[in-house]
A and B are shown apart, each in its own frame.
Chain A
Amino acid sequence: MSTEILDEFTSQDYKYGFYTDVEADSLPPGLSRETIALISKKKNEPHWMLEWRLKAYERFLKMKEPHWAFVEYPPVDYQSIVYYSAPKKAQALKSLDEVDPEILKTYEKLGIPLHEQKALAGVAVDAVFDSVSVVTTFKKQLEEVGVIFCSMSEAIQNHPELVQRYLGSVVPASDNFFSALNSAVFTDGSFCYVPKGVRCPLELSTYFRINAAKTGQFERTLIVADEGSYVSYMEGCTAPMRDENQLHAAVVELVALGNAQIKYSTIQNWYPGDKDGKGGIYNFVTKRGLCAGENAKISWTQVETGSSITWKYPSCILKGDNSVGEFYSVAITNNKQQADTGTKMIHIGKNTKSTIVSKGISAGRSQNAYRGQVKIMKSAENARNFSQCDSMLMGNECGAHTFPYIEVKNPTATVEHEASTSKIGEDQIFYCNQRGISTEDAVSMIVHGFCKEVLAELPMEFAVEARRLLEISLEGSVG
């Protein structure tokens, strides 16, 4: 009986699989100096930006794709990827009315109608459709308090001094293969600057979509919180069903200066591939935050349910004394999905503190790995870390793996690591059944209970969406 319901869950079709018919202005596939120059030219970029890209490309050519993660996939042909694709009618839009109705329809299907959000949630949305920002709302309200929130392209045009100062300061182009690739070819993304002492009055959010066929998605996000400021940023993703694997190599950089706080929340629900793992997104992302000043705080919260392959380690460099890094993660894999995700906490300043709470749920024939590094440098007097990594297995064919790396160079440090692996038990399900609760509700309840500490960290607007996602994709197989 219960197996039938579980099969139903695990064989559920991806609910956001559809394709929007919008005329795209694309470059031919392939990567070369010429492609990069063309991207830069199409975006009307200043010369320094092109130089920066080309330098990154030089580094990229000398690097090799990393294969240390606990994932397997066929080789990626970087020459068959389209590196630039923009919806044609997407120039200089001032209001939602000017947005292509096709695009608006897509958002409605996703359950994120901009109109509603505008009215209800008070969320400023910088919606990224393919690679170019389509519309930005609430800009004015943000401008009043001096918050700059715009697309990366606009930032390059209008705030070159900030971009030049901070772009690549946390994740240098040379950091890794994918960050180098991103630095060379990124087409757009979000930029946010919160000035000194300002508490950003809105939750900022971006919805990403991957659309045009074979378009690699190379987002670039940069958030700078100046001294004593606060910002909460939400990123959420769903993607239409595609047959071919799509590469996504984003770079997200956060900079928190003294006494500043950045809260970065992600819901990632890209197409995970079908039951046999065909199709789906390769999500190779570099996310890193720098607590540059004293008492700075960066908090990453992520709910990862999509992509066929996830390779992602949102990290914190705790440079300022008393700075704080947090990482709260729920990663769910089902069918043939593979996830290798976790965090790095690099303690440099005195009295720095980090917390890691990771919840991995594996179902179907998936593999789910937590990989985390805690590094206490010599200078980090009285640094403290607490890590908790819990894994839950659903069924007998999936795997959960934990790879903690702990490196302590200062004897005053306190590092704690707790890990557990549990299996959603037949006994738990039966217990719920025996109280009149259906297997469907029981699984949902147990999974929510398991992820509770992480879900509690999400902003309200996201918590609802996260719950819905859990219901759709997390109620995995038991048996």
Chain B
Amino acid sequence: MSLLKITDLRAKIEGDGREILKGINLEIKAGEVHAIMGVNGSGKSTLANILGGKEGYEVTNGSIQFDGKDLLEMDPEVRAREGLFLAFQYPVELPGVLTTYFLRTALNSVRQHRGLPAMAVREFAAFVKEKAKLLELSDELLQRAVNEGFSGGEKKRNEVFQMAVLEPKLAILDETDSGLDIDALKTVAQGVNRLRSSERGMLVITHYQRLLNYIVPDVVHVMVDGRIVQSGGKELALELESRGYADFKESVSA
């Protein structure tokens, strides 16, 4: 069954006539990992933001079904509670807000929505420890304020950690590789791979093929100028790397 089904999605920036997405069609099934590749300005991040429910965009056409429900009808927090997770390209800092407190509040909002009892402090601590072990990530970030003074690598690691805790149905990773050195990239990718499961879908958005060496996708889409111009297996990423985006651009305008 399809987890995410985007049909002929067109969108523009609010108060601006420019159309960014010009008819996107995309279907992700549970258990699949899809990658969207494209240059800056091709609309990749806009798509991620619209899926997350960020304000400032206007959907002019099309529909998005998430797990059988109309995603565009939901507020951002409801989307999250329904199981949509967005790992941000630039995670914001929340000065003074302890990560552990932040995450527990988030988890309990999600649990409440799913009819589960809230997790108490002690239970949560044990739960988180287990997740840290699973990802082979240190949980020391939990005792710091959310992303405050974190390095680029720490921020991205924290995103993956949050994903592990919130156990989403669909995870969207927006340029998770940007600003990471190769070691940090491997750590983050390893975390993501541990979270792959037959029930979970993933959408990996990236500019470079590099990340896809570590998070191997089932399907690769090439996005150019607000459209998906080609889809294929993981080998498409390698092809793209050798041919460059310019070729695809030409094929679009041709």
Smallest CB-CB separation from B87: which chain A residue?
A434
Q: A446 on the interface (CB 8 Å rule)?
A: yes
**Cβ contact within 8 Å between B92 and A437:** no
**Cβ contact within 8 Å between B94 and A433:** no
Min CB distance, A281 to chain B, in Å? 30
**Cβ contact within 8 Å between A436 and B113:** yes
Q: A residues within 8 A CB of B113?
A: 436
A434: contacting residue among B76, B96, B105, CB under 8 A: B76
Q: A residues within 8 A CB of B76?
A: 430, 433-434
**Cβ contact within 8 Å between A434 and B109:** no
C-alpha spacing A165/B105, complex, angstroms: 54
Interface flags, B68-105, vs A, CB<8A=1, else 0? 00000001110111000110100110111100011101
Q: A51 on the interface (CB 8 Å rule)?
A: no
Q: A449 on the interface (CB 8 Å rule)?
A: yes
Q: A residues within 8 A CB of B80?
A: 433-436
Q: A177 on the interface (CB 8 Å rule)?
A: no
Q: B236 on the interface (CB 8 Å rule)?
A: no
Q: Which of A362-391 contact B (CB under 8 A)?
A: none
Min CB distance, A383 to chain B, in Å? 29
C-alpha spacing A434/B54, complex, angstroms: 9
**Cβ contact within 8 Å between B94 and A428:** yes
C-alpha spacing A374/B107, complex, angstroms: 45
**Cβ contact within 8 Å between B97 and A435:** no
Min CB distance, B99 to chain A, in Å? 11
**Cβ contact within 8 Å between A436 and B88:** no
Smallest CB-CB separation from B106: which chain A residue?
A435
**Cβ contact within 8 Å between A448 and B81:** no
Smallest CB-CB separation from B165: which chain A residue?
A435
A437: contacting residue among B52, B79, B105, CB under 8 A: B105
Q: A residues within 8 A CB of B220?
A: none
**Cβ contact within 8 Å between A445 and B105:** yes
Greatest chain B CB density within 10 A among A434, A438, A441 is at A434
C-alpha spacing A427/B103, complex, angstroms: 17
**Cβ contact within 8 Å between B55 and A437:** no
Q: A residues within 8 A CB of B96?
A: 448-453
Q: B residues within 8 A CB of A428?
A: 92, 94
A436: contacting residue among B54, B92, B94, B166, CB under 8 A: B166
Smallest CB-CB separation from A426: which chain B residue?
B55
Q: A residues within 8 A CB of B85?
A: 434
Min CB distance, A443 to chain B, in Å? 11
Q: Which of B34-54 contact A (CB under 8 A)?
A: 52-54
Q: A19 on the interface (CB 8 Å rule)?
A: no
Interface flags, A1-20, vs B, CB<8A=1, else 0? 11000000000000000000
Q: A439 on the interface (CB 8 Å rule)?
A: yes
C-alpha spacing A446/B107, complex, angstroms: 17
Given contacts A445-B97, A448-B97, contact A436 B53 (CB under 8 A): no
Q: B residues within 8 A CB of A122?
A: none
**Cβ contact within 8 Å between B94 and A431:** yes
C-alpha spacing A433/B54, complex, angstroms: 9
Q: A residues within 8 A CB of B162?
A: 435
Q: A residues within 8 A CB of B166?
A: 435-436
Give the dominant DSSP class at A's interface. Answer: helix
By size class, the interface of chain B is 20 to 34
**Cβ contact within 8 Å between A449 and B94:** yes
Q: A29 on the interface (CB 8 Å rule)?
A: no
Min CB distance, B81 to chain A, in Å? 5
Q: Which of A427-479 contact B (CB under 8 A)?
A: 427-428, 430-439, 441, 445-446, 448-453
B91: contacting residue among A426, A431, A449, CB under 8 A: A431
Min CB distance, A294 to chain B, in Å? 35
Smallest CB-CB separation from B52: which chain A residue?
A434
Min CB distance, A440 to chain B, in Å? 10
A2: contacting residue among B55, B91, B95, B110, CB under 8 A: B55
C-alpha spacing A450/B96, complex, angstroms: 6
Q: B residues within 8 A CB of A201?
A: none
Smallest CB-CB separation from B75: which chain A residue?
A1
Q: B6 on the interface (CB 8 Å rule)?
A: no
Q: B132 on the interface (CB 8 Å rule)?
A: no
Q: A160 on the interface (CB 8 Å rule)?
A: no
Given contacts A1-B75, A2-B55, contact A437 B106 (CB under 8 A): yes
Smallest CB-CB separation from A425: which chain B residue?
B92
What are some 14 contacts across the A-B interface (CB < 8 A)?
A2-B55, A430-B52, A430-B53, A431-B94, A432-B106, A433-B77, A434-B53, A435-B80, A436-B113, A437-B77, A446-B94, A448-B97, A449-B96, A451-B96
Other than the given A435-B102, A435-B162, 10 more pairs (CB < 8 A) read: A1-B75, A434-B77, A436-B113, A437-B102, A438-B109, A445-B97, A446-B97, A448-B97, A449-B97, A449-B145
Residues of B within 8 A of A (CB): 52-56, 75-77, 79-81, 85-86, 88, 91-92, 94-97, 101-103, 105-107, 109-110, 113, 145, 162, 166
| Top 3 closest pairs, chain A to chain B, by CB | A449-B96, A449-B97, A435-B106
